[in-house]
Amino acid sequence: MLKRNKFKLIFTLSGLSIPTLSFANDLKVNDPVGISFWLISIIMVAATVFFLMSVNSVNGKWRTSMIIAALVTLVAGIHYFYMREIWVTTGQSPTVYRYIDWLITVPLQLIEFYLILAASATIALPVFWRLFVFSIVMLLSGYLGETDFINPYLGLVVGILAWIAILYELFLGEAAKVCAEKAPASVQQSFSVMKWIVTLGWAIYPLGYIFGYLVDGIDAATLNFIYNIADLVNKIIFCLAIWACAVKVSETDYKSK
Ligand SMILES: *C/C=C(C)/C=C/C=C(C)/C=C/C1=C(C)CCCC1(C)C
pLDDT tens for each residue of the chain, 257 residues long: 444 454 444 444 444 444 444 455 578 888 999 999 999 999 999 999 999 999 999 999 999 999 999 999 999 999 999 999 999 999 999 999 999 999 999 999 999 999 999 998 999 999 999 999 999 999 999 999 999 999 999 999 999 999 999 999 999 999 999 999 999 999 999 999 999 999 999 999 999 999 999 997 899 999 999 999 999 999 999 999 999 999 999 988 777 65
Task: Specify the pLDDT at position 120.
Answer: 86
pTM: 0.88
Task: Specify the pLDDT at position 27.
Answer: 85
Q: How far is the CA of 135 from the centre of ligand 1 (A)?
A: 9
Task: Specify the pLDDT at position 25.
Answer: 52
Task: Specify the pLDDT at position 23.
Answer: 55
With vertex at residue 96, the alpha carbon angle to CA 226 and CA 166, rounded to the nearest 5 degrees, is: 65
Residues 6+ apart with CB under 8 A from 204: 226, 227, 230, 234
Nearest to 128 by CA among 143, 113, 149: 113
Ligand 1 binding pocket (C-beta < 6 A) is 102, 105-106, 138-139, 142, 156, 159-160, 163, 202, 205-206, 209, 231, 234-235
* Candidate of 138, 168, 239, 242 to mutate for ligand 1, largest count of ligand atoms within 8 Å of Cβ: 138
Angle between helices 174-182 and 152-171 (to 10 degrees): 20
Q: How far is the CA of 7 from the centre of ligand 1 (A)?
A: 55
Task: Specify the pLDDT at position 26.
Answer: 75
Nearest to 88 by CA among 22, 145, 4, 20: 22
Among protein residues, the one whose CA lies closest to atom 5 of ligand 1: 102
Q: How far is the CA of 98 from the centre of ligand 1 (A)?
A: 10
Contact 64, 72 (CB under 8 A): no
Task: Specify the pLDDT at position 16.
Answer: 47
Contact 76, 30 (CB under 8 A): no
Helices (H), 119-219: 125-146, 152-171, 174-182, 185-199, 204-209
Contact 117, 191 (CB under 8 A): yes
Per-residue three-class SS string for 82-93: HHHHHHHHHCCC
Q: Domains in the chain and their CATH numbers?
A: 2-256 (1.20.1070.10)
Integer Cα distance of 172 and 187 in angstroms: 17
Integer Cα distance of 53 and 34 in angstroms: 29
Helix (H, G, I), strand (E, B) or coil at 1: coil
Integer Cα distance of 40 and 232 in angstroms: 7
Task: Specify the pLDDT at position 13.
Answer: 47
Task: Specify the pLDDT at position 1.
Answer: 43
CA atoms within 13 A on the CB side of 41: 15
Among protein residues, the one whose CA lies closest to atom 9 of ligand 1: 202
Q: How far is the CA of 78 from the centre of ligand 1 (A)?
A: 19
Nearest ligand 1 atom, CA 155: 16
Task: Specify the pLDDT at position 28.
Answer: 86
Neighbours of 121 (CB within 10 A): 14
